[in-house]
Structure 1
């Protein structure tokens, strides 16, 4: 007889307590192999595929796209067929009662060929013959026309009250079904009073229901919720201060053009700024630090894990270049380019998004000059770089057109005073204006 095994959402690392279902990769009744990815979920760190350690027939799956599943809660159940001629083990080939571990879970190498990065390594398994078992479906699944619903909260409310969304007429823009529409349908079933539908204003022309503007609460989930919580904590706990200075970047840009005229990989402005940061942190190591959880001490980090702001498909993320102080400009450029591409494709792993000790924020790419950003908790400092633009500038006693940028430096006032922060920023500005100064540090 087949054994129905329940696969629960595993701990995806970094102390996460749950994940949001993005899309299902298998259907109820489908035959799956051992370690086949069954669902794609979004955590606070990344979007990952979750493989199931059992091979057999999927009998049920739990959670709809947009819903959050807690760690340890059921994801799918699988009918596992026992091996032929054996009655002492389950369908995964282990003795009865022994749960098979996820193969390679959490240590898979990057999958360069795909859009997403796999959490676990897929392991080939013999095909499992279909098993005739009762299929328990937690949520009714049926093929139907696309229902105009955006909010997962609306879908959940309809499901909990047994409302068929396909039968509702939405009062939102372009027929969008709102929460109020579901509440009216529920009230109609049990006789309660319901929120009134939008009505035309007396004395005015009739307004179509689809044209009535409506407000809707968008839930904070996944990455956005993690960012919101982190920024709130940073703003609440860290006494941050910001100083800034304008710098003449003409010589730095000339150096970049000179380097890129030679054979070899191209050098980006971000790579040059990253190299300047690592040199500056060697001179001011107190800024490569963080305050302990209880606030009783300061942790001085011996290596620089350099975070940098990058725009990805899930929004602004901060990938981390580990051991940046040991990389030269060309190596920094290669790692920055690799992580930037991973951010754009949405394939960054949780490990590549955590553990930073200092952040470089090049917001000049958005066409702005200055900013006073919130620190990336628990880091103690962040260097911001505005756009590099031609401006009138006094150079060697004469007015000239130079390439100028604004540098801003936000720091945790608990780890240093203004003199240290000012010294760091001034050194960075001097390196931007006279990049030859870096030769003293190499």
Structure 2
């Protein structure tokens, strides 16, 4: 006899307490295998596919796409029967045993069973005892318990921001033709459809408000319009602070509240650094390996500077009133994505050369762009490098990424007049700014760190001592 089991939103780790449903991967009536992903959720850290530890027939789902659920809230219910009953109902769903489950809830930590092909079971095929268990008083009413007649196909959308924007404006993505590669639906496609829908509504409203009879006098029209107040401003838009944006807001507010930060900055001549990079990437031809980026070189300079000034690779334990110096440099770098600002972390950067750091930065940047960074890749940083020069600005006073002790900001590298060897010349100049926690060190240490970084930018040969 089938038994209905309830699967709740699991603890996804890293202190996360809630998640937003981005996309359901199964419908009511589908047969699922043990550890098969059933829903895609977005947390404050990353996008995660959540597998169900039970194998059987989905009898109910809880929560619509876009809904935010706390950890422990019901996700779905599954009717689990004996292996003989499952084979009788659905021959291909072999191996589903009564109350059998993996006990795992995260992708990559399951039993390794292959994902079963999705099968739809007619509602009448579920036994009466299973149906009775679904509507029992101790099980909440599902948001959607009706099997749709038409199963929608996949939508060519990669960005969760595009999906969210479409949901906010009640736009059916399946009615759009994407302008991206292979028909990929881009944000511009959604915004264009939203504008078209708004123009259509405005036209219908104008037609509905046209005078019914031409006999109405101009005086009467002016009097009527004067009696109705007209707002000169557009409707106020409210954007929820949740997901990545909410996590960033909380962290920045906590940093400003708890950390007594200070900023120092210096202009540096980066001409020799750019020449060294060109020489590195030009040596050896096509077989020389991946190109070394400016960000990778700056990251390697940071690890060398932190070896000389370990005070800045630390954190503050408020309860113990201690400064905790950290042995490894887990270097975070700020990356702007469609989901918002994220800070992927290069682990053990102090043990990597510039090429290795560059490869890892490239991998993490691509994962950030596609929204596939894991929570582990977004946490545990000890020092952050922020290249805001990509936005075309020279300087900034960055906010420290709590609970770290410092952040190095890098402006754009731009040609400027500069005194070089006693003569005025046009050089490639960059502004470097260091925001640091004044509790972990004084200005002398922070200035020494920043000066060493600037010296390495101006004279890259200084790094040969530490390579």
Same fold (TM over 0.5): yes
Which residue of 413, 424, 439 corresponds with 2:438? 413
Task: With the length of structure 1 as denominator, give the TM-score of the two structures.
Answer: 0.79
Instruction: Look up the SS of the partner of 1:415 in the other structure.
Output: coil
The answer as to whether partners of 1:287 and 1:381 remain within 8 angstroms in 2 is yes
Aligned to 1:235: 256
Aligned to 2:113: 123
User: In the superposition, relative to structure 1, how do residues 389 and 235 fare at CA in structure 2: closer, same or farther (>3 Å)?
Assistant: same
Measured against aligned partners, the alpha-carbon deviations of 1:78-116 in whole angstroms (never above 9, x if no partner) come to: 111212289xxxx986675x764117x36x3xxxxxxxx
Task: With the length of structure 2 as denominator, give the TM-score of the two structures.
Answer: 0.75
Q: Does 1:356 align with 2:381?
A: yes
| Cα shift at 1:313 | 3.0
Corresponding residue pairs, total: 379
Aligned to 1:74: 74
Which residue of 129, 138, 147 corresponds with 2:142? 138
Instruction: Look up the SS of the partner of 1:278 in the other structure.
Output: helix
In 1, distance between residues paired with 2:450 and 2:462?
Answer: 15
Which residue of 98, 102, 105 corresponds with 2:104? 102
Instruction: Look up the SS of the partner of 1:227 in the other structure.
Output: helix
More helix by share: 2
| Cα shift at 1:427 | 0.4
Which residue of 162, 168, 186 corresponds with 1:150? 168
In 2, distance between residues paired with 1:237 and 1:174?
Answer: 48
CA RMSD of aligned residues (A): 3.1
* Structure 1 unmatched ranges of 5 or more: 109-118, 153-171, 177-199
Instruction: Look up the SS of the partner of 1:4 in the other structure.
Output: strand
| Cα shift at 1:379 | 0.2
Aligned to 2:6: 6
| Cα shift at 1:132 | 1.8
The answer as to whether partners of 1:304 and 1:325 remain within 8 angstroms in 2 is yes
Aligned to 2:298: 273
Aligned to 1:291: 316
| Cα shift at 1:357 | 0.1
| Cα shift at 1:204 | 9.3
User: In the superposition, relative to structure 1, how do residues 201 and 380 fare at CA in structure 2: closer, same or farther (>3 Å)?
Assistant: farther
In 2, distance between residues paired with 1:403 and 1:27?
Answer: 58
Aligned to 2:346: 321
In 2, distance between residues paired with 1:74 and 1:438?
Answer: 55
Aligned to 2:186: none
Q: Does 1:203 align with 2:226?
A: yes
User: In the superposition, relative to structure 1, how do residues 289 and 29 fare at CA in structure 2: closer, same or farther (>3 Å)?
Assistant: same
Q: How does 1:142-221 map to 2 (within 5 A)?
A: 150=168, 202-203=225-226, 213-221=234-242
User: In the superposition, relative to structure 1, how do residues 120 and 384 fare at CA in structure 2: closer, same or farther (>3 Å)?
Assistant: farther
Instruction: Look up the SS of the partner of 1:84 in the other structure.
Output: helix
| Cα shift at 1:419 | 0.4
Aligned to 1:340: 365
